[in-house]
Chains A and B, each alone.
Chain A
Amino acid sequence: KQEVTQIPAALSVPEGENLVLNCSFTDSAIYNLQWFRQDPGKGLTSLLLIQSSQREQTSGRLNASLDKSSGRSTLYIAASQPGDSATYLCAVGRGYKYIFGTGTRLKVLA
């Protein structure tokens, strides 16, 4: 059974810091991994999608890496801003199903 864990569960940083969010999964037989952002009481916004054959994806200040063999992915956020404050979720996909991680609640202080 696939289990997805995110560390840390919560993170508070001053504005401008670079930070790394971690996602680990137990079954490396995945099709892809997707990072999402969720604001309080809202749905999910897709940030980055990494296919199983890819090592990383970049979008603006965000960079996500994938090491399938070790069951790990990281989301790197450069020059963090207060507007980045949200919960970040990773999800691993196999077939049509996604299993979500526990989430990291990020707060960027102005």
Chain B
Amino acid sequence: GAVVSQHPSWVICKSGTSVKIECRSLDFQATTMFWYRQFPKQSLMLMATSNEGSKATYEQGVEKDKFLINHASLTLSTLTVTSAHPEDSSFYICSARDQASGATGELFFGEGSRLTVL
């Protein structure tokens, strides 16, 4: 199946610093990628939809100035957590769908990035 690569898989940072997470589709092109957040023992919550070449669309309650998303190419989206605080500690997962499969194609997920803010 298609592969979505996410990096780093885990990161520990000090409060107030910024952290960048990368999401790459390795064998397909994705005009749209999705960023999810998952707290312990909870399900995935959609944070934002990343659109290649345009601004991301954020879900209600997600601060766009805190979670910066850039989708500069058809295979790469980045999520930057700015001025991270302990409450931002979470598991962040990206997903993507082959643009050739349209809106109903299978969704593939990265391995996730565990962020711990001290």
Contact = CB atoms under 8 A, between A and B. Distances in A.
Given A43-B112, A44-B93, A98 B106 contact: no
Interface stretch (B12-20, B42-50, B74-82): B42-50
Interface in A28-49: 31-32, 34, 36, 41-46, 49
A102 B43 contact: yes
Nearest to A36: B109
Contacts of B6: 43
Interface residues of A, number: 25
Contact of B107 (A34, A41, A52, A102): A34
A100 interface: yes
Contacts of B91: 41
A67 B89 CA distance: 38
B109 A93 contact: no
A41 B109 CA distance: 13
Nearest to A99: B46
B100 interface: no
Interface in B1-49: 1, 6, 32, 34, 36, 42-46, 49
